[in-house]
Amino acid sequence: MMTARLAAVPRLLAVPALAVLLAGCGIRATEVPTNFGPAPSRVQCSLADPDVSTQAARGLPVQVFLLCGSSLVTVDRTVRVPDGAADSERRILVAQGLLDQLAAPTSAAEKEAGYSTDVRGITVGGPRPGDPDDTLRLSTAPAGLTSYALAQIVCTFSDSAAAEGDGSVVLGGPGAEAPRRYECTDEVRARPGSTEPPSRDAAGE
């Protein structure tokens, strides 16, 4: 019995000694640290709500699609369209205004939120003989645009007065190639860099 008690003494003494060693190493023997600091405060792809009444006073309220992260996001803009413009002329004016807004430098707030654009200096004209009436001819062929720029233009046009309002838009380039009807889908909005807008030949429509 005496021998067993003597053998237990070193073990009992070792417990507080181990606790001291752990404390010396910065490790608490009975607590698990849970405070990893505050979460990051930067919020991307989020802007304050615009003053729509002020925008309307400057022109026609529109929405354009900018890039943020790996997806497309809508931003409120305005375009000026002269009163009394014929429908066909109005479509071209709206389309050019949208392109100008897509190519415009992003504001300081938009930059801070992570917004950007891949559209640069593109002009637009109306249909040629034999094209569908709602064709928009770009100064750069759709096939020559980056997938990001094409997605921005298709999604911006397809949901505007520049198109027929059915989620699609007929686009052609400056050459003799036939125009094609492009669609803005959920997949395109979510992954514009890897998913091109689906399209089909618009000839004969």
State the Cα angle at 33 between 28 and 35, rounded to 5°.
Answer: 150
**pLDDT value at residue 50:** 53
3-class secondary structure, 112: helix
Residue 15 in this model has a pLDDT that exceeds 50: no
pLDDT at 185: 95
- The confidence score (pLDDT) of residue 39 equals 40
Give the confidence band of 48 by pLDDT, cuts at 50, 70, 90: low
Position with higher pLDDT, 46 vs 141? 141
What sign does the dihedral 191-97-102-109 (CA atoms) show?
Answer: negative
Say what percent of the chain tops pLDDT 90.
55
pLDDT at 140 over 60: yes
Encoded tokens for 112: 């801070």
Amino acid type, 194: S
Average pLDDT over residues 189-200: 95
Does the reported pTM lie above 0.85? no
Tracing tokens 């980056």 back to the chain, one arrives at: 146
Q: What is the pLDDT of residue 17?
A: 46
Residues 141-151 have a mean pLDDT of 97
Q: 140 or 29, which is more confident?
A: 140
**pLDDT top residue among 4 and 162:** 162
pLDDT of residue 123: 98
Average pLDDT for the chain: 79
**What are 106-119's pLDDT values in tens digits?**
989 899 999 999 99
Mapping DSSP to helix (H, G, I), strand (E, B) and coil, where does residue 180 land?
Answer: strand
pLDDT digits (tens, 9 = 90+) for 66-107: 999 889 999 999 998 887 777 888 999 999 999 999 999 998
Q: What is the pLDDT of residue 59?
A: 80
Q: Residue 183 pLDDT > 70, yes or no?
A: yes
Report the distance separating Cα 145 and Cα 23, nearest Å: 62
User: What mean pLDDT comes out for the span 128-149?
Assistant: 95
Residues 156-174 have pLDDT tens digits of 999 898 887 788 999 999 9
Q: Please write down the long-range contacts of 82-91, taking CB distance under 8 Å and 24 or more positions apart.
A: 88/126, 88/133, 90/161, 91/126, 91/134, 91/136, 91/161, 91/162
